[in-house]
Amino acid sequence: MTRTHRKQRTQRGIIAAARFALAFVSFVALVSSVPGRVTAARPGSIRGRVDVRRPAAPVERRPGVAELGTPAGRDIPNLLRSVVYLESAPRGAFESSEGGRAVMDQRNETFVPHVLAITTGTTVDFPNSDRFYHNVFSLSKIHPFDLGRYAAGSSRPVRFDRAGIVRVFCDIHSHMNAYILVFNHPFFAMTDAEGRYRIDNVPPGTYGVIAWNEGTSSETRPITVPDGGTAELDFTVR
Amino acid sequence: MIARIARLTCLLIAGISRLAMAQALPSEPIALADGRVTVSGDVSAGYACDVSLAHYCGDDLGFFDYTDYEHSALRLFRVDVSAAVRAGAHFTLLGEIRTENLGVLRPYALYLRIRPWTTTNFDIQVGRVPPTFGAFARRTYANDNPLIGYPLAYQYLTTLRPDSLPISTDELLRKRTLGWLVRYSLGDQAFDHGVPLVSAFRWDTGVQVHGGNGVVNATAAVTTGTVSNPLFADDNQGRQFAGRVEVRPLMGMILGTSVARGAFIGQTAVRAALGESSGAEFMQTAWGGDAEYSRDHYLLRAETIVSRWQVPMPAAPPGQAAVQSPLDALSLSLEGRYKLRPGLYAAARYDHLGFSDVTSATATLPWDAPVMRVEIGGGYSIQRNLLLKGSFQHNHRDGGLLLPSVANMIAAQLVFWF
């Protein structure tokens, strides 16, 4: 074996070792960065309760001094429902989702539900269930839209592709308003009538969690989700 | 004075914008006592220039947009504060105070709304009540008006006055175009402004009933003044009867018709024209028809008003023709608005105001100069309750010797409401 041959074999060995090392490092990095792909890790849950100390007052109708009679009655939206969400979600959660459909109805001069929490890519339908016109619009920075006036029984869709908070109004009835919270991950939940919430399928790890109610957010609270277990976290907002 | 108003307007626009941007101003009505008391506000500041004059940014020397000698509808800083106090399911007290160009605070509306049966759409309103007649009169707030100017029928000042009367048709014709500041030989000798066909700047006082089923709604009222001269305290013994029927045959369509008839000329002026013993009543009779249709991003409105005023016919001086009665006026207004994108719209309005012919010793002419107005503009919502409007307004008057017959105004207005 000549010196040249020995030198070539040594170089091939170094290259092969380097390739193996690179592959190993990449595998370790991939496995450690995506909790959902760790075969041994089982997702857990976060649950708890949101106590709304001073519920927001519903937006009142303007006095309507120029109206010729008493305006028709309207429903009062439920302002006690909150949204709890992970501030720092696992990285894999940010992969683009297909997005589903959700509905925000216009009924008795009220948006129903008053708060909607969705993921990016979701299309929200805005049916008009009243016997008169509404005009849904938003001037939010993340998704301004104006659906115009359309008849009872009709619906118009809006697809939300950017994360953020969208305030929704009616151009005809100034007291009508609603919130749409758009997340780029699935780790959020609406509270039920008793203020309880539950976020499932959370990969084990430590996260920051926030509770939101009517434009007011709690401080970020840290929580550790155990492997296959449930972490409990209560909030008091407003 | 004008420079001061302009400076004040600019300062206020800057102030309101800054406060609104900082979210320091309310964005919703203020509710007190568990929602039984609600308070809302409308603030608008506008400025306009006549660009048809030789010098830049001139005054409206044609007095096309004036609502009296001092106030132009285009150069106005207006603050309205409205409140509703609910006392149970049957009674609501509603009121509104207003100031223009930081002048005296005036009660614009104050009335009690009574709903005898809570499940029936029937209301009785007593006090200084909203206008029964017409469509535009109840949406004069800057937030409801897609443009800055007003329809001619509701703002343009004719040469008729309820308290000062011409002695002859010749005198009446000599005053054509001077409705912003006019006086006649009979009655009050002080200069004052004439009346529009329907006043959008004052509400009448009386009793109003309203009912309907959503498809057909009807309103009737008995009030002190007339549509062109709403009053708090009567200046004659006559009452005005007004009615309006509104039909909504399709979603988005409103068809309305209104009538009103009431004693217009004040007793003092009648006595000055016809003698102390005269107790005759001289009526204003008005009829209006209006239509609105909206769908998707557009809104179309049309309104026409015919007004007839009976006026005293005193003995004319030699060589002059006697006053002819009645005097008629006809207005037409067409308005459209289209939303171009969220927060941005374009709008336009065409207006015409015509008058019946009268014959003096020398000529046959409309008793006031016919006016045409086209206004084109738009609005941009800086935020939901902060709107910046801009418009170009072309006015043309067919007649009149003293004033320019054309005015091309550019105007801007900032509107804030909560």
pLDDT for residue A34 is more than 50? no
Rounded mean pLDDT of A71-79? 88
Q: Beta-carbon neighbour count of residue B46 at 10 Å?
A: 23
Using CA atoms, how far residue B106 sits from B30, B80, B84, B129, in Å, is 21, 10, 17, 15
Instruction: Indicate which of A60, A67, A68, A158 best probes the interface with B, i.e. most B CBs within 10 Å of its own CB.
Output: A68
Distance CA(B141)–CA(B153), nearest Å, equals 16
Q: Does residue A124 register a pLDDT over 90?
A: yes
A54 vs B: CB within 8 A? no
Which one of B35, B294, B342 has the shortest CB-CB distance to A60?
B35
pLDDT reading at A36 higher than 50: no
* Long-range contacts of B207-210, Cβ-Cβ distance < 8 Å, separation of 24 or more: B207/B124, B207/B125, B207/B126, B207/B129, B208/A68, B208/B111, B208/B124, B208/B125, B208/B126, B208/B129, B208/B130, B208/B132, B209/B122, B209/B123, B209/B124, B209/B125, B210/A68, B210/A69, B210/B122, B210/B123, B210/B125
Q: Which pLDDT belongs to residue B14?
A: 62
A41 falls in which pLDDT band (50, 70, 90)?
confident
For residue B221, what are the domain limits?
49-73+144-417
Chain A contact present for B360, CB below 8 A: no
Q: Given this model, what pLDDT does residue B1 score?
A: 46
pLDDT for A25 equals 40
Q: Could A68 and B130 be called an inter-chain contact, meaning their C-beta atoms sit closer than 8 Å?
A: yes
**Global ipTM:** 0.87
Any B CB within 8 A of A40 CB? no
Q: How many residues does chain B have?
A: 418
Amino acid at B382: I
Q: Determine, for residues A150 and B138 on separate chains, whether the beta-carbon distance falls below 8 Å.
A: no
User: Is it the case that residue A33 has pLDDT exceeding 90?
Assistant: no
Residues A140, A162: Cα–Cα separation, whole Å: 11
Q: How far apart are CA A233 and CA A92, in angstroms?
A: 23
Query: B220 or A74: whose pLDDT is higher?
Result: B220
Q: CA A15 → CA A11, A23, A27, A194, distances in Å?
A: 6, 12, 18, 63
Q: Is the pLDDT of residue A30 over 50?
A: no
Interchain contact, B138 vs A67, CB within 8 Å: yes
Chain A contact for B115, CB < 8 A?
A: yes
DSSP H/E element including B109 = strand B106-114
pLDDT band of residue A99 (cuts 50, 70, 90) is confident
The rounded distance, in Å, linking the Cα atoms of B327 and A187 is: 74
Q: Touching check for A70 and chain B: CB below 8 Å?
A: yes
For residues A58 and B162, the model is more confident at B162
Fold designation for A44-59+73-237: Immunoglobulin-like (2.60.40)
The total of other beta-carbon atoms located within 10 Å of residue B377's CB is 23
Cβ–Cβ contact B139 with A under 8 A: yes
Confidence bin at A29 (pLDDT 50/70/90): very low
CA distance B11 to chain A (A): 26
Best interface-test mutation with B: which of A70, A134, A169 has the largest number of B CBs within 10 A? A70
What pLDDT, on the 0 to 100 scale, is given for residue B20?
A: 54
Q: Which of residues 317-356 of B touch A (CB under 8 A)?
A: 339, 341-343
Residues composing chain A: 238
User: Distance from A41 to chain B by nearest Cα, in Å?
Assistant: 46
Mutation to test the A interface, candidates B21, B23, B27, B28, most A Cβ within 10 Å: B28
Query: % helix / strand / coil in chain B, to the nearest 5?
Result: 10, 45, 45
Q: Which residues, at least 6 apart from B212, have a Cβ–Cβ distance to it below 8 Å?
A: A69, B121, B218, B246
Q: Which residues of A touch B29 (CB under 8 A)?
A: 59-63, 175
B113 touches chain A (CB under 8 A): yes
Q: Does B31 touch chain A (CB under 8 A)?
A: yes
CATH of the domain at B252: 2.40.160
* Cα separation, B192 vs B229, whole angstroms: 13
Q: Smallest Cβ distance to A66: which of B139, B208, B297? A: B139
d(CA B245, CA B220): 9
Contact A65 B339 (CB under 8 A): no
Residues A51 and A230 sit within 8 Å (Cβ to Cβ)? no
β B283-295/B253-263 pair status: antiparallel
CA B31, B32, B38, B42 torsion: positive or negative? Answer: negative
Residues B239/B223, Cβ–Cβ less than 8 Å: yes
- Cβ contact (<8 Å) for A70 and B115? yes
From residue A26, alpha-carbon distances to A33, A39, A93, B113, B299 in Å are 10, 17, 20, 76, 61
Q: Looking at CA atoms only, how far is residue B148 from chain A in angstroms?
A: 19
B353 within some domain? yes
* CB proximity A61 to B under 8 Å: yes
Chain B hits for A63, CB-CB cut-off 8 Å, are 29, 38-40, 82-84, 94, 96
When scoring A60, A62, A65, A140 by the number of chain B Cβ atoms within 10 A, the one with the most, hence best to mutate, is: A65
Please list the pLDDT of chain B residue by residue as tens digits (418 residues): 455 555 555 565 566 556 555 556 788 999 999 889 999 999 999 999 998 766 667 788 889 999 887 889 999 999 999 999 999 999 999 999 999 998 899 999 999 999 999 999 999 999 999 999 999 999 999 999 999 999 999 999 999 999 999 999 999 999 999 999 999 999 999 999 999 999 988 999 999 999 999 899 999 999 999 999 999 888 888 999 999 999 999 999 999 999 999 999 999 999 999 998 888 899 999 999 999 999 999 999 999 999 999 999 999 999 999 999 999 999 999 999 999 999 999 999 999 999 999 999 999 999 999 999 999 999 999 999 999 999 999 999 998 777 889 999 999 999 999 9
B29 within some domain: no
Q: Chain B: residue nearest A143 by CA? A: B342
- A60 contacts chain B (CB < 8 A): yes
Count up the domains in chain B and report the number. 1
Please indicate if any CB of chain B lies within 8 Å of the CB of A39: no
> In this prediction, what percent of chain A has a pLDDT beyond 90?
70
Considering only CB atoms, which chain B residues are within 8 Å of A150?
295-296
pTM: 0.87
Selecting from B109, B138, B252 the residue whose C-beta is nearest the C-beta of A149 gives B252
* Cβ under 8 Å to A: B residues 157-196: none
pLDDT at A73 over 80: yes
Q: What is the pLDDT of residue B52?
A: 79
Q: Does B384 touch chain A (CB under 8 A)?
A: yes
Q: Which residues of A touch B295 (CB under 8 A)?
A: 148-150
In angstroms, the CA B413 to CA B288 distance is 29
